[in-house]
Amino acid sequence: MIKKKMYLSAPLPFVGQKRMFAREFIKVLKQFPDDATFVDLFGGSGLLSHIAKRCKPNATVVYNDFDNYRRRLENIPHTNRLIADIREIVGNTVPRHKAITGDIRECVFDRIQREELETGYVDFITLSASIMFSMKYRMSASKMRKETLYNNIRKNDYPECPDYLEGLEITSRDYREIFNEYKDTPGAVFLVDPPYLSTEVGTYTMYWRLSDYLDVLTVLNGRSFIYFTSNKSSIVELCEWMGKNRTLGDPFEGCIKTELNAHMNYNATYTDIMLYKRATPTIPAV
């Protein structure tokens, strides 16, 4: 049998993908049965779902592709052609990591506009990674025009990866609807990686408020899960909310925690946190 490739990072750029946690996540997966049902409530780039399916091929893995990442994957050939043309436009005139200005900048936008007219689709997240400052994303040409462009264009094409989402059960729904569908499934393990608190980075379709962030905690109580957050969450407000909802208790009691330092750019860092535990099966009364 040919061993299938396991990706340890998402094929295309995605804000908040858990590539730094990939190897630790693989270790944590060993705590759960090979035939478990993994439900990735905030699927994002699909990296967690992909790894879970590769590590446990007999498991059912539900990937909530709320951000339509699969459409971006399907359009990799178009994205590669667009970036290749921009690479040729910039040429050797603009040094690496320097601003793209003047006529060259206008030629870049002309090429983007032509792509939208001819194909009806531009992967602005991947494009932003090529011609904008690190970790900065804009979802339209009009918004991108308000920013400085930089020559961060990658030298090679993004590889096509038709096998990346292979074997996953893919859906695109509100996480609460998916949770309600699987909450009573024996052996279900919920992968919970919500957007970071107060994020509006241009790639999410909604502003993630504190109440949204706290509501997610209700899905953890009494269930097996792997949960991701960071030290950027508002701990004081979180504790106040927990005090008003005492029946929930502490869903992280008994969890094992792993922390990793992450870098957004040269002067901004934060701490990524992963917590996990395996729920104790309930023994029916005789």
If one compares 209 and 39, the residue with the highest pLDDT of the two is 39
pLDDT at 200 over 50: no
Alpha helices in the chain (DSSP H): 22-29, 47-55, 69-74, 76-90, 102-119, 124-131, 141-144, 175-182, 210-215, 235-244
Least trusted range by pLDDT, from 136-140, 164-168, 200-204, 263-267:
200-204
CATH number of the domain bearing residue 35? 3.40.50.150
More confident residue, 88 or 267: 88
Domains contained in the chain, number? 2
* Poorest-pLDDT segment among 158-162, 238-242, 279-283: 238-242
Distance, in Å, from the CA atom of 71 to the CA atom of 50, rounded to the nearest integer, reads: 16
61 within some domain? yes
pLDDT bracket for residue 30 (50, 70, 90):
very high
Asked if residue 229 and residue 210 are part of one domain, the reply reads: yes
Give me the domain span that covers residue 179.
19-68+172-277
Indicate the residue type of 12: L
Does the pLDDT of residue 198 top 60, yes or no? Answer: no
Q: Residue with structure tokens 């109580």?
A: 221
Q: Is residue 10 part of a domain?
A: no
Q: Which two tokens stand for residue 193?
A: 């990686």
CB atoms within 10 A of CB 178: 22
pLDDT tens figures, 144-187: 999 999 999 988 999 999 999 999 999 999 999 999 999 999 99
What is the spatial distance between Cα 151 and Cα 93, in angstroms, rounded to a whole number? 10
What confidence tens digit (pLDDT) does each residue in 57-112 have?
999 999 999 989 999 999 999 999 999 999 999 998 999 999 999 999 999 999 99
Q: Are residues 181 and 272 in the same domain?
A: yes
Q: Are residues 84 and 203 in the same domain?
A: no
* Strand bridging mode 224-230 / 268-277: antiparallel
pLDDT of residue 134: 73
* pLDDT top residue among 160 and 4: 160
Quick one: 184 and 60 in the same domain? Answer: yes
Question: Is 21:275 a contact under the CB 8 Å cutoff?
Answer: no
Would you say residue 285 lies in a domain? no
